[in-house]
């Protein structure tokens, strides 16, 4: 027996197709059923890699008794938050206005028109953890719906008014780089000076926050800011949050030392961490960062490549019904698989204890003393043996749907890393994924579908997709010099203008102007686990202005900054993508390299650029193609037949440089 989710493509929704709950997918049919039967909607939002979503499903949604209660009282609707982040954002905001922390699974109760009136997150089947039992919640909400409709209506009105208020732009204020530097020093006080990351638990990677600190450290020459980043990257890279056998970072650590991860792996986390590690390597030449980038990229190419060469969304935390089972080891298992000497060194290096370092088993980590010289080769061989052994285990589930925005993040990360570390194979993978998104997820009017699986997608596209894919196009353009990539970015920005721009007060709505199934159009400005789309749009607009010389992009970037600048003083730690866009607009470093692409002198200049940490770098590779009239290096060319570079800051360009070492020195100068 299956329910209505059997016809969906989302792996998360398909996980629930055999539940005794009579689930509906989100859509007009579910709304019509709720109106026809005068029943409220029980909305359950989650995603395939979510551990507590699995727990609630097993405890409640697979229970015939609880399912019967749900079926009698509600029209039950399942939503994959990765397919519909716009819906998730609305109802998470509503839950926050009720004074509750958001998260997944999200459990919301709605009117037949989709208006929220009460909600929560995970509910156990019986009262525990200080939470009421789910059947008790069902009875209480049902009684409120039937006996106190005026109270429900009052809640609906208050929440709708609150949602509308949250999406109004605050008064404009002037931003400055000094303000960003002061904010970074203030934020530095929240950094854990022993383990890295922000103090407290659970501890998330927060790549946007540490990118913000790194940028401020470079601008101000403040070593304390940069050391906060390097400390964090070191402890994460050695910690249990990193998969030391297969590569890739887990979503977060449940405690402050980075030892115990929540074992799911997300494409977006790893894309952002590849970028941050690459940026930090350019400023430190730290081998650990280069190694983690390489291992993580190889994990992506090996385990996350999916339909058409694009990248899958997530890997589950659970296998065989247990969180982390795939990744953990007993000391006895190590002894069985490795030779005695290798086993001894490996157990010492990775903290494998006879009684385990977590729930009777061991999470691999290296956040303790280094090993003697010569042991690393033994450990490398041991890791290869253990990885092959681990490959025989039952693997966690993979959500292989293709998300345009998350793919854009990974494409940009791969493109830049391929340039910095001279890895053309990574660039090839980025280009394949890019073409898959661009061609197979295209919708009319240069719009993009948000989610695809088995070549199927709904006509739903978000500003996040246009922003991140435009950013990916510009990242690929920097590496390849191909002008058509700029035109792709321009087309996606134009689509965002037509369908997402708020002509009244500025900023971009997440949902398009023809979206007919959202009760309010939110404007994504606060960074969450992923950068906010309005912040990414400012970055893209700034770079387009600098590449094309077209002032319309600068004007729109300024207007977007104006729309949200008033929120910065209170929320700057959650607006780092917007602030990175402001820095890109205010202080770009435009580097033009003129020369035959394959010639040694051209490549030497490009290597000099690749080895310097320049977050606001805009690289143009020019081979017989004139730069636009608005570009500060317009009309400049080679000197005496040699490949030549120009470094432009603001509207002033340096004298021509033909020596790679001299170019590197000039780029290091602030």
- CATH topology for 177-318+398-586 is Glycosyltransferase (1.50.10)
Q: Is the pLDDT of residue 572 over 80?
A: yes
| Correct CATH for 4-166 of 3.40.50.2000, 2.60.40.10, 3.40.30.10, 3.20.20.70 | 3.40.30.10
Range 334-358 average pLDDT: 97
- Distance separating alpha carbons of residues 463 and 499, to the nearest angstrom: 9
- Distance separating alpha carbons of residues 357 and 359, to the nearest angstrom: 7
Peptide bond into 325 cis (omega under 30): no
Range 613-627 average pLDDT: 89
CB atoms within 10 A of CB 406: 28
Residue 224, pLDDT score: 98
Distances (CA, A) of 658 to 201, 323, 595, 637, 640: 51, 56, 10, 11, 10
Confidence band, pLDDT 50/70/90 cuts, at residue 635:
confident
Residue 447, pLDDT score: 98
Q: Is the pLDDT of residue 228 over 90?
A: yes
DSSP E strands, 210-321: 252-253, 261-262, 265-266, 312-315, 318-319
Residue 523: name the closest of 507, 537, 503 by CA: 507
CB atoms within 10 A of CB 99: 6
Average pLDDT, the chain: 96
Q: Is the pLDDT of residue 625 over 80?
A: no
Q: Is the pLDDT of residue 395 over 90?
A: yes
Confidence band, pLDDT 50/70/90 cuts, at residue 167:
confident
Q: Is the pLDDT of residue 164 over 90?
A: no
Residue 626, pLDDT score: 76
Residue 176, pLDDT score: 97
**Where are the domains positioned within the chain?**
4-166, 177-318+398-586, 327-390, 589-668
Angle of the 600-610 helix axis to the 660-668 helix axis, nearest 10 = 20
Residue 381, pLDDT score: 97
Residue 384: name the closest of 295, 265, 314, 319 by CA: 295
Range 310-318 average pLDDT: 96
Confidence band, pLDDT 50/70/90 cuts, at residue 373:
confident
| Three-state DSSP state, 560 | helix
- Distance separating alpha carbons of residues 615 and 228, to the nearest angstrom: 17
- Distance separating alpha carbons of residues 521 and 167, to the nearest angstrom: 8
Range 79-88 average pLDDT: 97
- What are the b/e assignments for 207-244, b being 16+ CB within 10 Å? bbbbbbbbbbbbbbebeebbbbbbbbbbbbbbbbbbbb
Distances (CA, A) of 110 to 26, 113, 118, 153: 12, 7, 7, 11
- Distance separating alpha carbons of residues 257 and 254, to the nearest angstrom: 9
Task: Please determine whether the domains at 4-166 and 589-668 fall in the same fold group of CATH.
Answer: yes
Burial of 586 (C-beta count, 10 Å sphere; 0-12/13-18/19+): middle
Peptide bond into 309 cis (omega under 30): no
Residue 169, pLDDT score: 86
Percent of the residues in the chain that have a pLDDT greater than 70, as a whole number: 100
Whether the predicted model's global pTM rises above the 0.95 cut:
yes
Residue 115, pLDDT score: 97
Residue 590, pLDDT score: 96
Do β-strands 41-46 and 75-80 pair in parallel, antiparallel, or remain unpaired?
parallel
pLDDT tens digits along 406-462: 999 999 999 999 999 999 999 999 999 999 999 999 999 999 999 999 999 999 999
| Three-state DSSP state, 311 | strand
Range 509-520 average pLDDT: 96
Q: Kindly compute the dihedral angle of the four CA atoms of residues 66, 69, 74, 78, in this order, to the nearest 10 degrees.
A: 10
Residue 439, pLDDT score: 98
Q: Is the pLDDT of residue 131 over 90?
A: no
Residue 88: name the closest of 426, 481, 655, 530 by CA: 530
Residue 270, pLDDT score: 98
Residue 578: name the closest of 170, 163, 99 by CA: 170
Confidence band, pLDDT 50/70/90 cuts, at residue 565:
very high
Range 339-357 average pLDDT: 96
Burial of 325 (C-beta count, 10 Å sphere; 0-12/13-18/19+): middle
Residue carrying structure tokens 């791969």: 414
| Three-state DSSP state, 617 | strand
Residue 383, pLDDT score: 98
| Correct CATH for 589-668 of 3.40.30, 3.30.70, 3.30.720, 3.40.50 | 3.40.30
Report whether 450 contacts 403 (CB < 8 A): yes
pLDDT tens digits along 230-250: 999 999 999 999 999 999 999
């Amino acid at each position: 027996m299956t329910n209505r989710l059997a016809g969906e493509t989302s792996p998360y929704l398909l996980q629930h197709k055999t539940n005794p709950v009579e689930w509906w997918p989100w859509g007009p049919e579910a709304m019509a059923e709720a109106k026809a039967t005068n029943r409220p909607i029980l909305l359950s939002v989650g995603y395939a890699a979510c551990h507590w979503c699995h727990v609630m499903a097993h405890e409640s949604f697979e229970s015939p008794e609880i399912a019967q209660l749900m079926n009698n009282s509600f029209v039950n609707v399942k939503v994959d938050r990765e397919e519909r982040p716009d819906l998730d954002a609305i109802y998470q905001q509503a839950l926050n206005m009720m004074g509750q922390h958001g998260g997944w699974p999200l459990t919301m109760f709605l009117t037949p028109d989709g208006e929220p009136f009460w909600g929560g997150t995970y509910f156990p089947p019986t009262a525990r953890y200080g939470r009421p039992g789910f059947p008790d919640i069902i009875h209480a909400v049902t009684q409120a719906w039937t006996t106190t409709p005026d109270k429900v209506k009052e809640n609906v009105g208050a929440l709708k008014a609150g949602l509308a208020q949250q999406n109004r732009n605050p008064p404009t204020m002037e931003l400055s780089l000094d303000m960003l530097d002061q904010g970074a020093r203030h934020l530095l006080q929240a950094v854990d000076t022993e383990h890295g990351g922000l103090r407290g638990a659970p501890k998330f990677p927060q790549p946007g926050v540490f990118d913000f600190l790194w940028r401020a450290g470079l601008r101000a020459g403040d070593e304390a800011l940069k050391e906060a980043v390097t400390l964090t990257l070191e402890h994460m890279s050695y910690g249990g949050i990193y998969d030391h056998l297969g590569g890739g970072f887990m979503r977060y650590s449940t405690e402050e030392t980075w030892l115990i991860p929540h074992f799911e792996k997300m494409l977006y986390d790893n894309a952002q961490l590849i970028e941050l590690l690459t940026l930090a390597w350019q400023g430190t030449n730290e081998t650990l960062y280069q190694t983690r980038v390489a291992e993580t990229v190889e994990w992506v190419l090996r385990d996350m490549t999916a339909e058409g060469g694009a990248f899958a969304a997530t890997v589950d935390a659970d296998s065989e019904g247990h969180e982390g089972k795939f990744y953990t080891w007993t000391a006895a298992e190590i002894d069985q698989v490795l030779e005695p000497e290798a086993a001894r060194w490996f157990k010492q290096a990775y903290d494998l204890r006879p009684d385990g370092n977590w729930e009777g088993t061991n999470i691999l980590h290296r956040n303790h003393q280094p090993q003697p010289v010569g042991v690393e080769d033994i450990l490398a061989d041991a890791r290869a043996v253990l990885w092959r052994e681990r490959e025989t285990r039952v693997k966690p589930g993979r959500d292989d749907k293709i998300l345009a925005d998350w793919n854009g993040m990974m494409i940009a990360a791969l493109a830049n890393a391929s340039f910095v570390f001279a890895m053309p194979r990574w660039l090839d993978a980025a280009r394949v994924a890019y073409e898959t998104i661009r061609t197979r997820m295209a919708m009319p009017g240069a719009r993009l579908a948000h989610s695809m699986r088995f070549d199927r997608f709904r006509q739903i596209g978000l500003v996040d997709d246009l922003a991140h894919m435009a950013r990916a196009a510009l990242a690929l353009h920097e590496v390849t010099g191909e002008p058509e990539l700029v035109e792709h970015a321009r087309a996606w920005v134009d689509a965002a203008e037509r369908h997402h721009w708020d002509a009244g007060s500025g900023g971009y709505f997440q949902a398009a102007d023809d979206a007919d199934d959202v009760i309010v159009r939110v404007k994504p400005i606060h960074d969450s686990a992923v950068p906010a789309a309005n912040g990414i749009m400012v970055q893209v607009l700034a770079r387009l202005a600098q590449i094309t010389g077209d002032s319309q992009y600068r004007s729109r970037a300024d207007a977007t900054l104006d729309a949200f600048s008033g929120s910065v003083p209170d929320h700057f730690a959650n607006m780092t993508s917007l602030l990175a866009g402001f820095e890109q607009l205010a202080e770009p470093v435009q580097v033009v390299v003129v020369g035959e692409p394959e010639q040694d002198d051209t490549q030497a200049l490009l290597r000099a650029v690749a080895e310097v940490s320049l977050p606001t770098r805009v690289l143009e590779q020019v081979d017989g193609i004139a730069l636009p009239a608005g570009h500060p290096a317009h009309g400049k060319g080679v000197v005496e037949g040699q490949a030549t570079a120009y470094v432009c800051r603001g509207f002033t360009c340096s004298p021509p440089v033909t020596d790679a070492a001299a170019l590197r020195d000039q780029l290091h100068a602030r």
